[in-house]
Homo-oligomer: A and B are copies of this chain.
């Protein structure tokens, strides 16, 4: 909370699910869908409380790669910003407080109408964005399977951009196949949804995109500074907002891990969708930490607003070494049993 009474920066996390994540091999390798479906609920709790509270999972992959929620939480403990979670289609309960916009869990994009709540969620979130009094918002996401639905939306809009992955080996061909099937099921050709973002997200996207895009449009149109805090999933949200006719300025803040990903051409997207691009390197390669080494190896890369949180820390002059220290303590706390080990199980990679 700022001392001068001005509205502070707020990170708004859109947390939801799509059954697209259940497709074998698409999201984190070997992940059990029964566990992964809890990840957004757990991420919201880690952001708000520092650990899972109601969610029965700790989103850490078998290789020890923690959810990026750990990074955002660590920065939150050091920097001056508020957090708000929007229920953008959660499938499992969370103890994190959430704002309701009417989103329901998304079906597999290969279904004929996978995100039937998209138009309503877009409208409700736009109204929420319009009325939120903050001067600046960071818009973040947590949804397993979200890079596939990002490709779905971009393709439906006729925008040719590659998407990143939470996996070191991006299953690009499989994503393209799923997206082709998704468009087929809706009788759409690539580009058929240009200028119609609600159609694109309803037929080939997920409820997080619908809610986040609506919020971005409402907030930016009413004069709030908007930073998309994330990677290619947030590029899809930028595309939706632009196709909705938004012409206010946008920024996107992400990690070096996404910027270094050859599958994603962020700089081209920044030109086409007219956003300023901030890339922050948390210096994980300088850290003697197995958790951070997984990021350096190409796992996870981004999510839960990680890149935006790092950019905020940088802007506030908080040194990355201090951020890394705090990441270590949040992570250790997650694993040391204080996070209610009696009913927790270790989940596979979070997204």
Contact = CB atoms under 8 A, between A and B. Distances in A.
Interface in A87-103: 93, 95-100
A95 B54 contact: no
A247 to B, nearest CB: 23
A129 B338 CA distance: 15
A50 B133 contact: yes
Q: Is the interface of A mostly helix, strand, loop or mixed?
A: loop
A338 B100 CA distance: 24
A267 interface: no
A128 B53 contact: yes
Given A1-B77, A98-B98, A326-B5, A51 B93 contact: no
A3 interface: yes
Interface string A58-99: 000000000000000000111000001110000001011111
Contacts of A49: 7, 132-134
A50 B7 contact: yes
A132 B7 CA distance: 27
Oligomer: number of copies: 2
A214 to B, nearest CB: 14
Contacts of A132: 49, 53, 95
Nearest to A343: B131
A232 to B, nearest CB: 27
A113 to B, nearest CB: 26
A126 to B, nearest CB: 13
A348 interface: no
Interface of A: 1-3, 5, 7, 48-51, 53-54, 76-78, 84-86, 93, 95-100, 127-128, 131-134, 326, 329, 338-340
Nearest 7 interchain pairs by C-beta? A97-B97, A53-B131, A97-B99, A1-B77, A97-B98, A84-B97, A49-B133
